[in-house]
Chains A and B, each alone.
Chain A
């Protein structure tokens, strides 16, 4: 009986999220019908513009399942974009070596933060807060000016459309058929998402992550290596941050200091809205995907509406986050009473 209740609570949060997304999208279809909201491309754009966020939210979900948090992700994205731009444009490096270097940078970042959190037992928030300022400051040290990326290979990666012919297309005035399309970044994001899902659900390592987040003490008593698990989670998260940053750079094709500000909030909000508990032990990457899609839909609304300032996105996300956090805490309280 008790077990059933617990599962119900988890699923309930996820169902609310999916319903919220469907309701919002349906509302968009009705309100912005005349502006072409119903086009398949509008839906695909949610994935195109948020490919980086999907990857980072997946990493964030893993970290949050262990009961930790990472608020350095936005700054790492900025640092990744800036490093890519700087290496390719100023130093004249190729796109592939530059990509490899930023991915290694992400892993090293995760390694240091993970060590401080898992082995020195410093609060994840303090460590990643310092990481956040460190990465942002490093971005400014590399260059205070904006650097646009003009590397041919990089632009080829960024702009090669993959037409989805089965979704049909529209014929424009010149008689050319425009199919609905996605960029390669979307495919990378989805592969990562499925990879993390499989890792969490079907591997020993994944189950250990849930065990550590559920109750660290019990996990330790069961003979699980809590420290190593946590360290590895932060390392994978660091890697995903720089990969997400790369996907982000494919969209913006530039590096500048103020880039991706508040990104950490979006990633955390996506995970929380998707049903990941802040206390750890519960979470699902597909829930986080819906969290990202909800954020994307809000942005699309604001673009379609046309007059609202982009600050409204941040405020709405913060309000949604507050709402879901309160919902979670009410669930936790109700569970305590049983």
Chain B
């Protein structure tokens, strides 16, 4: 009996227990309404099914969440421009590949040029955000608010207010699948981004520095860490991730739709970080937690879609989840609850 209790305590004490528990809970709740949720079939040589859909669709979000985790950890703020940066990256890529035309059937410029330009656009947006936050010391969310609104406007200008189509098979591969490989390509892209970031953070001191800066920027500066540089780099990296994510999203629909690429994804990315058990106040972080968080959100979205909720309405449920999570993280709430408990206890004693 005691052993069992100790086991449960050790299990629940494990840092990633809660995020994993949420993910499993969301996934299995589908069995009630959609019994075939876990079925996987093969259609045209590609794996197919709800569960594959969750893993596939979550890829964009996983990539974003990786960048967002570092931003939150280093600066204690969030980058709300990621969705808009995605649409800029998609627009830039399609603009280069189509040479400014509205619809093309073959690449006007080499594919790699479009990819590089899109990633560069993401990095530039990240630099802009990073400069405002790290050098000018503006609150992160206000600084990123500028691109949050202007970003889609810029993307509209690049695509001249229209949807640019790239009707080339090889352009669709990044967002769908490569012939002969049954697993969708975005899954691999997400895996590569996560692994590279993980290795980068573990094998260099960067991960440690980010946590140190996030916990106390002034103290780390006194210790000789260039706090401003670390914060700046975290925003640049976040921009890079948004660029890659934008490429994948644009490839899915083989076009640049400035209004809809990455729409509402900024909230999802923040939510993924929070769901992963990371404090939104910065400091210690778990990359794996955020990744699990991202899959949980996609599972939630897919579940809601399967129930017939329209995409416009989904933000309502997500907003409620965000508020509940941050409220649970709040130390003030804990204090209020413990105060209430002691009041109740002392009240009992008097009685």
Q: A265-B148, A278-B138, A309-B161 given as contacts; is B132 within 8 A of A120 (CB)?
A: no
How many of chain B's residues touch chain A, expressed as a range? 35 or more
Whether B318 is near chain A, meaning CB under 8 Å from some CB there, is: yes
Interface residues of A in 247-285 (CB under 8 A from B): 257, 262, 265, 268, 278
Q: Roughly how many angstroms separate A315 CA and B319 CA in the complex, as a whole number?
A: 28
Interface residues of A in 306-326 (CB under 8 A from B): 309, 311-312, 314-315, 317-319, 321-322, 325-326
Which of B34-42, B90-98, B188-196, B320-328 is the contact stretch?
A: B320-328
Q: Roughly how many angstroms separate A140 CA and B310 CA in the complex, as a whole number?
A: 9
CB neighbours (8 Å) of B317 from chain A are: 137
Contact B310 A119 (CB under 8 A): no
Q: A278-B139, A309-B161 given as contacts; is B326 within 8 A of A122 (CB)?
A: yes
Least CB distance from B90 to A in Å reads 16
What number of A-B contacts does a CB cutoff of 8 Å give? Answer: 118
Which single member of A122, A133, A262, A265 contacts B267 (CB below 8 Å)? A133
Whether B156 is near chain A, meaning CB under 8 Å from some CB there, is: yes
| Interface core residue of A126, A257, A326 (most chain B CB under 10 Å) | A126
Which single member of B139, B157, B264, B314 contacts A315 (CB below 8 Å)? B157
CB neighbours (8 Å) of A129 from chain B are: 80, 141, 267, 270, 322
For A328, give the chain B residue with the smallest CB separation: B138
Contact with B along A22-59 (1 / 0, CB 8 A): 00000000000000000000000000000000000000
Contact B146 A322 (CB under 8 A): yes
Contact B156 A311 (CB under 8 A): yes
Interface residues of B in 177-234 (CB under 8 A from A): none
CB neighbours (8 Å) of A127 from chain B are: 323, 326
CB neighbours (8 Å) of B319 from chain A are: 130-134, 137
CB neighbours (8 Å) of A318 from chain B are: 146-147, 149-150, 153
Contact A140 B138 (CB under 8 A): no
Least CB distance from A145 to B in Å reads 11
Whether B117 is near chain A, meaning CB under 8 Å from some CB there, is: no
Whether A125 is near chain B, meaning CB under 8 Å from some CB there, is: yes
Which single member of A120, A144, A315, A325 contacts B312 (CB below 8 Å)? A144
Contact A329 B136 (CB under 8 A): yes
CB neighbours (8 Å) of B142 from chain A are: 69, 268, 278, 325
Contact with A along B113-154 (1 / 0, CB 8 A): 000000000000000000010001111011101111110011
Contact with B along A112-126 (1 / 0, CB 8 A): 000010011111011
For A112, give the chain B residue with the smallest CB separation: B323
Q: A268-B145, A309-B157, A318-B150 given as contacts; is B136 within 8 A of A326 (CB)?
A: yes
Contact A71 B145 (CB under 8 A): yes
Q: Roughly how many angstroms separate A144 CA and B309 CA in the complex, as a whole number?
A: 12
Contact B316 A314 (CB under 8 A): no
| Interface core residue of B80, B138, B310, B333 (most chain A CB under 10 Å) | B138
Interface of chain B: mostly helix, strand, loop or mixed: helix
Least CB distance from A86 to B in Å reads 15
CB neighbours (8 Å) of A317 from chain B are: 149
Contact B264 A321 (CB under 8 A): no
CB neighbours (8 Å) of A123 from chain B are: 280
CB neighbours (8 Å) of B132 from chain A are: 322, 325-326
For B140, give the chain A residue with the smallest CB separation: A125
Q: Roughly how many angstroms separate A314 CA and B327 CA in the complex, as a whole number?
A: 33
Whether A138 is near chain B, meaning CB under 8 Å from some CB there, is: yes
Q: Roughly how many angstroms separate A123 CA and B139 CA in the complex, as a whole number?
A: 11
Contact B267 A134 (CB under 8 A): no
Contact B323 A137 (CB under 8 A): no
Q: A140-B310, A315-B153, A315-B154 given as contacts; is B315 within 8 A of A120 (CB)?
A: no
Q: Roughly how many angstroms separate A130 CA and B319 CA in the complex, as a whole number?
A: 5
Contact A133 B315 (CB under 8 A): yes
Contact A311 B323 (CB under 8 A): no
Q: Roughly how many angstroms separate A265 CA and B310 CA in the complex, as a whole number?
A: 26
Least CB distance from B271 to A in Å reads 9
Least CB distance from B170 to A in Å reads 31
Which single member of B136, B138, B143, B150 contacts A319 (CB below 8 Å)? B150
Contact with B along A165-194 (1 / 0, CB 8 A): 000000000000000000000000000000
Q: Roughly how many angstroms separate A262 CA and B152 CA in the complex, as a whole number?
A: 11
Q: Roughly how many angstroms separate A134 CA and B333 CA in the complex, as a whole number?
A: 22
Contact A314 B323 (CB under 8 A): no
Q: Roughly how many angstroms separate A321 CA and B128 CA in the complex, as a whole number?
A: 14
Whether B103 is near chain A, meaning CB under 8 Å from some CB there, is: no
Whether A136 is near chain B, meaning CB under 8 Å from some CB there, is: yes
Least CB distance from B99 to A in Å reads 21
Q: Roughly how many angstroms separate A309 CA and B161 CA in the complex, as a whole number?
A: 9
Least CB distance from A319 to B in Å reads 7
Whether B346 is near chain A, meaning CB under 8 Å from some CB there, is: no
CB neighbours (8 Å) of B153 from chain A are: 311-312, 314-315, 318
Least CB distance from B297 to A in Å reads 13
CB neighbours (8 Å) of B315 from chain A are: 133-134, 136-137
Which single member of A69, A134, A311 contacts B316 (CB below 8 Å)? A134
Which single member of B141, B156, B316 contacts A309 (CB below 8 Å)? B156
Interface residues of A in 81-135 (CB under 8 A from B): 116, 119-123, 125-127, 129-134
CB neighbours (8 Å) of A221 from chain B are: none
For A318, give the chain B residue with the smallest CB separation: B150
For B327, give the chain A residue with the smallest CB separation: A120
Q: A141-B313, A278-B138, A329-B138 given as contacts; is B323 within 8 A of A130 (CB)?
A: yes
Q: Can you list 23 pairs linking A and B with CB atoms under 8 Å apart?
A: A116-B323, A122-B326, A126-B78, A126-B326, A127-B326, A129-B267, A129-B322, A130-B267, A130-B319, A133-B316, A137-B312, A137-B315, A137-B317, A257-B312, A262-B149, A265-B149, A309-B157, A314-B149, A314-B150, A314-B153, A315-B150, A319-B150, A330-B136
The 8 closest A-B pairs by CB, nearest first: A137-B316, A140-B312, A318-B150, A133-B315, A134-B319, A137-B315, A265-B149, A125-B141
7 A-B pairs besides A318-B149, A326-B132 with CB distance below 8 A are A121-B331, A122-B327, A131-B319, A134-B319, A257-B312, A265-B149, A311-B157
**Could you tell me which B residues sit within 8 Å of A by CB distance?**
77-78, 80, 132, 136-139, 141-143, 145-150, 153-154, 156-157, 161, 264, 267, 270, 280, 310, 312-320, 322-323, 326-327, 330-333
